A and B are shown apart, each in its own frame.
Chain A
Amino acid sequence: METGDPAAAGTDTGNRGALARLVDDASSRKQFLRMVGGAGAAGAFATLAAACGEQDTPIGSTQRDPGTEDSFGPGDIGIVNYALTLEYLEQDFYEQIRKSGEVTNRALKKLIEEVYSNESEHVAALEKTAEQMGRPVVRPKTNFDSVLEGGQPKILSESAKVENLGASAYLGQAPRVSDRAVLAAALSIHTVEARHAAAFNKMAGEGFSGKGTLIGTIPDGPFAKPKTMQEVLKEAKKFLPEGIPELESPGA
């Protein structure tokens, strides 16, 4: 959870120290794996766990982080609404790409149809889940003009980024989910986003690791990196001109 945890909240003012190095640096991870088995094993495991995305609030913390999870509601419904918001964004993205007529490459067109169909199913499933949990978020206003104006190459590279972002977003939330059924659903979507990301990057001619954090077919090497809500929303907000909409009122 992002609340009160400066490391997780991405304010970069906290003492991330060894954890951040482990997360961000492949050679540190290798070193970690080599050193395991010694006296530091328990601590090392904690480091791995933290590196793998467990970034929870310490008990007693009262700091809030308005503008992220507070916008989506508390606990599991908040996570579902957050996921739904990202899926709305993705669905709109591919819908506008399809309407633009910019994509002429046959293979890319086919992939976009496949991904669009997947994202629409994700939206439908998450909408239903959010409704059952009581407080669905409303569909955000989106704007992808900057991508569409760049034509097919820009569409391809941004699709890759959006999907890598989606995969890291689901990975960041998985350990925060309480309800095992919601978790199962999130996991089954997570790997589909990962497939999309690898496919777009492959089609873009990217190698396994890419130039930026959201590029490459297997950009983080053997262990995918999670992203917190705040990290994801920071990337996504360029497509959300009016920000995150208010929740629909409960019991409406």
Chain B
Amino acid sequence: MRKQDFAHPELATVKVHGMSREAFLARATLAAGAVYGLGAVGPFVGKALAESATGLEATGDIAILNFALLLEHLESIFYDQARRRVSLDSDAQKLTEELALNEGAHVSALMTVIGTLGGQPTREPEVEFGDAFSSQTSYLKLAQTFEDTGVSAYNGAGPMLESKEALAAAGTIVQVEGRHAALIRMMRGQEPAPKAFDDALSIPQVRTRVAPFLVG
């Protein structure tokens, strides 16, 4: 597909590279597990993943997943603080509790995947949300920024992931981020899906957007 063929030009800038032998091996072995039951392939999966992890580190899957983990940490801390500190109406309180639970689960899942691939999960960052918690309005405004940015971060990172397993995991998370974004936008009286194609952002672009909320 040529660059000008894209409905969304930003997507065409995504770096394209092939799947490594290691990722392919892991994929084939995991597929066998899906058919014959996990026990049958346990030892092979272990070996494939060990080999796969080497290839993944070289091409940056662990780094990408760790960046996703940083964003999930940020969101998780944000909602956990918001649900205790912001004066919210009952709908917003309910949504915030759900968001806190979801983002916490995303943190756990990503830490698991990164650890299993042989990586070191990035630590919880120190955060600074300014006066976002002074009102429901300012809190929801920042929440929308986080969710829309999260969607675009995953969509930008997805095609750069070498491992199909990492992509599948990221996919199950980003769909939920999209749903969060829509719910927050509606609560703010905004269109839930303002664009036909969600933006894809590069890691440096996302980093710039979240930098004001990270200390150090």
Chain A residues proximal to chain B, CB less than 8 Å: 5-8, 14-15, 17-19, 33, 36-37, 41-50, 52-59, 111, 114-115, 117-119, 121-122, 124-125, 128-129, 132, 167, 171, 174-175, 179-185, 187-192, 194-199, 202, 208, 217-218, 220-226
Tell me whether chain A's interface is mostly helix, strand or loop, or mixed: helix
Q: Which listed residue (B11, B35, B200) contacts A6, Cβ 8 A?
A: B35
Q: Is the CB of B179 within 8 A of A43?
A: no
What are 28 pairs between A and B in contact, CB < 8 Å? A42-B45, A46-B45, A48-B109, A49-B169, A58-B28, A118-B196, A124-B7, A167-B175, A171-B171, A174-B158, A179-B16, A181-B16, A184-B12, A184-B155, A184-B159, A184-B200, A187-B159, A191-B151, A191-B155, A192-B178, A194-B176, A197-B179, A198-B183, A202-B186, A218-B180, A218-B183, A224-B175, A226-B172
Q: Is the CB of B32 within 8 A of A58?
A: yes
- Among listed B79-87, B123-131, B132-140, B160-168, interface-contacting one: B160-168
- Whether, in the assembled complex, B73 has its beta carbon less than 8 Å from a beta carbon of chain A, the answer is no
Residues on A with beta carbons closer than 8 Å to the beta carbon of B38? 17-19, 43, 46-47, 50
- A158 to chain B minimum Cβ distance, whole angstroms, is 18
Query: Which A residues are CB-close (under 8 A) to B12?
Result: 181, 184
**A18 cross-chain contacts in B, Cβ below 8 A:** 37-38
**A225 and B172 contact, Cβ closer than 8 Å, known pairs A15-B36, A194-B178:** yes
Residue pair A184, B171 in contact (C-beta under 8 Å): no
Number of B interface residues, CB 8 Å? 76
Q: Which chain A positions have C-beta within 8 A of B27?
A: 54, 56
Contact indicator B5/A132 (Cβ below 8 Å) = yes
| Given A49-B169, A198-B182, A122 and B196 contact (CB-CB distance below 8 Å) | yes
Nearest Cβ in chain B — how far from A77, in angstroms?
A: 12
- Structural contact, B11 and A185, CB atoms closer than 8 A: yes
CB <8 Å contact, B28 and A45: no
- Per DSSP, chain B at the interface is helix
Task: Name 16 extra pairs, CB < 8 A, besides A17-B38, A192-B193, A217-B179.
Answer: A5-B31, A17-B37, A42-B46, A43-B42, A44-B112, A46-B29, A46-B45, A52-B168, A129-B5, A179-B16, A181-B16, A184-B159, A187-B200, A188-B11, A223-B172, A224-B179
